[in-house]
């Protein structure tokens, strides 16, 4: 039996549903989801393995007009993957008109010379007319694609058709990861991302791009009853003192609720007890300082 394996990049402008689609493909959360644009800041790898194939998916930051050094680096990461993968999944929103952001991504993707599958996402909330119009507009305005797949990353409708299109375009190759691996992201990364996701959900438009989170301490312990316990310290950074108060909330209500929700989700994902401590620090203009971004792995 021929085994096919390779890499697929999920690209598109912000808020088209790339992370939701990746989580649906993998069957569990490997990338945080938020209504806020540019919530994904790094490449997230998700791995889907079957009896005859393995696809390593890269969820990339949404390509946008950058306003900070962080935005510039996020764009560079997203666009750099286009020539390094076997297939590009170019995601658009079924309800939104084709815009400059879509055309910018399409131009870069076509220039890379990698086969591109056009993914028309969010069909569960779009009319048939919108979907048909979007597919026609994509063909007319964005270039030639190897395939066109309408789907819903939220419900999973159409995802099997996408996977079929991707598998046939993967070369024969080895199994890069064990069959039970769904992401190469370590628990420390997941913990920080889950805390950030919860804060984005609570704070909405107040200061989403000013927040970042990193896990700075991790220790394997045991409970009094002998159960394994993963102890983590997640540090949330903001850019100004006024933002620190917003993130902490009255009597620690905001950061406390975020940490509790993140801990419960992390325990479910890892299948182990977790002790999650959080701290909030001010790191002035961290988005605009190269040294700060380097230190944070961004």
Give the pLDDT confidence of 133-175 residue by residue, as tens digits: 998 888 888 988 999 999 999 999 999 999 999 999 999 999 9
- The residue ranges of every structural domain in the chain are 4-167, 187-295
Tell me the per-residue pLDDT of 177-203, one tens digit each, with 9 for 90 and over. Answer: 999 888 888 888 889 888 988 888 888
Q: Residue 39: its pLDDT value, please?
A: 46
Q: Residue 274: its pLDDT value, please?
A: 92
Angle in degrees, CA 83, 103, 120, rounded to 5: 85
Q: Residue 158: its pLDDT value, please?
A: 96
Q: Residue 38: its pLDDT value, please?
A: 46
Q: Which residues, 6 or more positions from 178, have their beta carbon under 8 angstroms from its beta carbon? A: none
Q: Domain 187-295: which topology?
A: GMP Synthetase; Chain A, domain 3 (3.30.300)
Superfamily of domain 4-167, CATH level 4? P-loop containing nucleotide triphosphate hydrolases (3.40.50.300)
Residues in the chain, pLDDT under 50:
36-41
DSSP state of 172: B
The CA distances from residue 111 to 114, 146, 251, 278, in Å, are 8, 14, 53, 44
Q: Which residues, 6 or more positions from 116, have their beta carbon under 8 angstroms from its beta carbon? A: 87, 88, 89, 90, 109, 110, 143, 145, 146
Query: What count of other Cβ atoms lies within 10 Å of the Cβ of residue 65?
Result: 10
Q: Cα 177 to the chain's mean position, in Å?
A: 20
What does R_g of the chain's alpha carbons equal in angstroms?
20
Q: Residue 56: its pLDDT value, please?
A: 93
Q: How far apart are CA 215 and CA 69, in angstroms?
A: 22
């Amino acid at each position: 039996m021929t085994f096919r394996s390779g890499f697929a990049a999920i690209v598109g402008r912000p808020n088209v549903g790339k992370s939701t689609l990746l989580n649906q493909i993998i069957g569990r959360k490997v990338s945080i989801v938020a209504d806020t644009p540019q919530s994904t800041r790094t490449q997230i790898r998700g791995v889907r393995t079957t009896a005859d194939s393995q696809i390593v998916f890269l969820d990339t930051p949404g390509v946008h007009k950058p306003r900070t050094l962080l935005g510039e680096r996020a764009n560079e990461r997203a666009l750099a993957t286009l020539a390094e993968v076997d297939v590009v999944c170019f995601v658009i929103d079924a309800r939104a008109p084709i815009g400059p952001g879509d055309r910018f991504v399409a131009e870069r993707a076509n220039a890379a010379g990698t086969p591109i599958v056009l993914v028309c996402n969010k069909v569960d909330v779009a009319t048939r007319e919108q979907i048909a119009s979007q597919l026609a507009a994509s063909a007319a305005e964005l270039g030639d694609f190897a395939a066109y797949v309408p789907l819903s990353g939220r419900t999973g409708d159409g995802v099997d058709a996408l996977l079929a299109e991707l598998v046939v375009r993967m070369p024969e190759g080895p199994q890069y990861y064990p069959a039970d691996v769904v992401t190469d992201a370590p628990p420390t990364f997941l913990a920080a991302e889950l805390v950030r996701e919860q804060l984005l959900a609570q704070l909405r438009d107040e200061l989403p791009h000013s927040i970042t989170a990193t896990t700075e301490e991790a220790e394997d312990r045991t409970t009094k009853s002998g159960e394994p316990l993963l102890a983590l310290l997640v540090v949330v950074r903001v850019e100004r003192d006024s933002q620190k108060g917003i993130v902490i909330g009255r009597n620690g209500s905001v950061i406390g609720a975020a940490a509790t929700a993140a801990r419960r989700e992390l325990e479910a994902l890892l299948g182990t007890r977790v002790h999650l401590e959080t701290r909030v620090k001010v790191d002035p203009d961290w988005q605009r300082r190269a040294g700060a971004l380097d230190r944070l792995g961004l």
